[in-house]
Chain A
Amino acid sequence: MDEATKNQQKKYNEYVKAVTPTHSLFRNMLQAFLVGGLICAAGQGILNYCQSLGLNKDIAGGWTSLILILCSVLLTGFNLYPSIAKFAGAGALVPITGFANSIAAPAIEFKKEGQVFGIGSKIFTIAGPVILFGIFTSWIVGLIYFLLGIAGAVSL
């Protein structure tokens, strides 16, 4: 590509950026804070309730995740979760409910292509990278922790 074309493309991209409207960042952040906070508060409520039933902290935490996931999958199935996310953005995507949505949605969409080549191979098309790099990152962090332990900086 010659210099003139590059310049023309750069100029055009800058011009397009100037005329393209975007969502208000402040309003988006406020809405994300509200809804994300509500989801977390609901989680805390479930956790407290489970603990009040005498479950220990780990088991209660497990139930909390399961119940939130179930709610999200149901809301996805009834096509309500997209509307929540349209309003809340990352506030609905970052909590575990968003993760559940990203797995339930492809499962519903690709069911028509079969159990194996539809659901089986496409269920993780969105969540797959999160799972892969999440596990990989935790492995790196674990390795660093292990090396620091050998060096005596932290207790293993």
Chain B
Amino acid sequence: MSQTKGQSSIQFAEAPYIIESSSIVGQKEGEGPLGKLFDSVEQDPMLQKKTWEEAESELQRKAVQKAIDKSNLTQQDLRYLFAGDLLGQSIASSFGLMQFQIPLFGLYGACSTAGESLCVAAMTVAAGYADNAVAVTSSHFASAEKQFRYPLEYANQRPLSANWTVTGSGAFILGTKRSKARITGITPGKIVDYGIKDSFNMGAAMAPAACDTIYQNFMDFNRSDKDYDKIITGDLGLIGSKILIDLLKEKGFDISQIHMDCGVEIYDGDNQDTHAGGSGCGCSAVTLSAYILPKIHKGEWKKILFLPTGALLSTVSFNEGQSVPGIAHGVVIEHC
């Protein structure tokens, strides 16, 4: 039986379960509105390591280890790792996951990697290529600032549209063993470019991609905003969220009542000085693990569309005058 749906979606015949998940965050995230929900809050931004990059690797290592510990599985039960981060050549994943000795697929989709890794891991499990697979992503405020913006102590004023990169890592074990949440379908996103050139306004750059993937998901599955309890984007922030709602209204769908954005939820914008909201591969991953999945387990939300968003730029493409294209990968998660 064909499992493809419409133009680009998949409806799994044997939907993989999200067996276990974990969330490790930094101090600032721990002080945010979701602070108490995370598995672990690291007070030391260096995680007892020597560099920011090593610290981010340690976040990923801890996240995977925590997910293994919480499940009744052992390392040997996990067949493949699907991992990514924001650093050049994905070194946070490479060095953080080396010690597990599990075959690894390194992924890059900027902040959408959290969705991309879930999509590919779900496809792998659903196809019968693995009983258990892990999707893990991370971001670290300091390593991201160093890579994409300025040295940490450099004095400048952040625009109000700027995001704050979340320090955190979320890991998800997908498998065939029954649990209370399963990925029933996915809508991988395509690259959408509306010509935004301001790298300090990622929300505006990514909102059209989120709109495109949501619309595609509705068309492919023949659904509308009424079919979901929540549509949750990754890190559009305050400005991007407003734009997304406006864009979808133009296409005839009103998601204003059911839309939520992980970047908006994770910080208290008024008191934590995070401007537009949180961002990064860690942002949507830790929010999914700590906040969203428990609500799905309880059945408070029966069916959601989880949609991490990414801005596909590098400092080189930016300096060479390229725009900032966006991408968003949709994952349908249902209570069961």
User: What 1/0 mask marks residues of chain A from 1 to 32 whose CB sits below 8 Å from any chain B CB?
Assistant: 00000001110110110011111000010000
Minimum Cβ distance to chain B for residue A91 (Å): 10
Give the distance in Å from the alpha carbon of A23 to the alpha carbon of B157 in the complex. Answer: 10
Q: Is B59 an interface residue (CB 8 A)?
A: no
On whether the beta carbons of B153 and A108 are closer than 8 Å, the reply is yes
Main secondary structure of the interface of A (DSSP, over half): helix
Q: Is B316 an interface residue (CB 8 A)?
A: no
User: What 1/0 mask marks residues of chain B from 153 to 169 whose CB sits below 8 Å from any chain A CB?
Assistant: 11111111100000000
Q: Interface size on B (CB < 8 Å)? A: 25
Q: Is B30 an interface residue (CB 8 A)?
A: no
On whether the beta carbons of B161 and A20 are closer than 8 Å, the reply is yes
Report chain B residues within 8 Å CB of A19. Answer: 239, 242-243
On whether the beta carbons of A102 and B154 are closer than 8 Å, the reply is yes
Give the distance in Å from the alpha carbon of A81 to the alpha carbon of B160 in the complex. Answer: 20
User: What 1/0 mask marks residues of chain A from 26 to 52 whose CB sits below 8 Å from any chain B CB?
Assistant: 001000000000000000000000000
On whether the beta carbons of B151 and A23 are closer than 8 Å, the reply is no
Q: Is A79 an interface residue (CB 8 A)?
A: yes
Pick the contact of A101: B153, B160, B243 (CB < 8 A). B153
Q: Is A61 an interface residue (CB 8 A)?
A: no
Q: Is B299 an interface residue (CB 8 A)?
A: no
On whether the beta carbons of B204 and A101 are closer than 8 Å, the reply is no
Minimum Cβ distance to chain A for residue B183 (Å): 32
Most buried by B among A13, A16, A28, A89: A16
On whether the beta carbons of A106 and B204 are closer than 8 Å, the reply is no
On whether the beta carbons of B194 and A126 are closer than 8 Å, the reply is no
Report chain A residues within 8 Å CB of B242. Answer: 19
Q: Is A71 an interface residue (CB 8 A)?
A: no
User: What 1/0 mask marks residues of chain B from 186 to 212 whose CB sits below 8 Å from any chain A CB?
Assistant: 000000001110000100100010000
On whether the beta carbons of B155 and A108 are closer than 8 Å, the reply is no
Report chain A residues within 8 Å CB of B159. Answer: 22-23
Q: Would you list 26 pairs from A and B whose C-beta atoms are within 8 A, ordered by A residue?
A: A10-B195, A12-B208, A13-B194, A13-B195, A15-B246, A16-B201, A16-B204, A16-B239, A16-B243, A20-B160, A20-B204, A22-B160, A23-B159, A76-B153, A79-B152, A81-B155, A82-B154, A86-B158, A92-B155, A93-B156, A101-B154, A105-B151, A106-B151, A109-B153, A112-B51, A126-B151
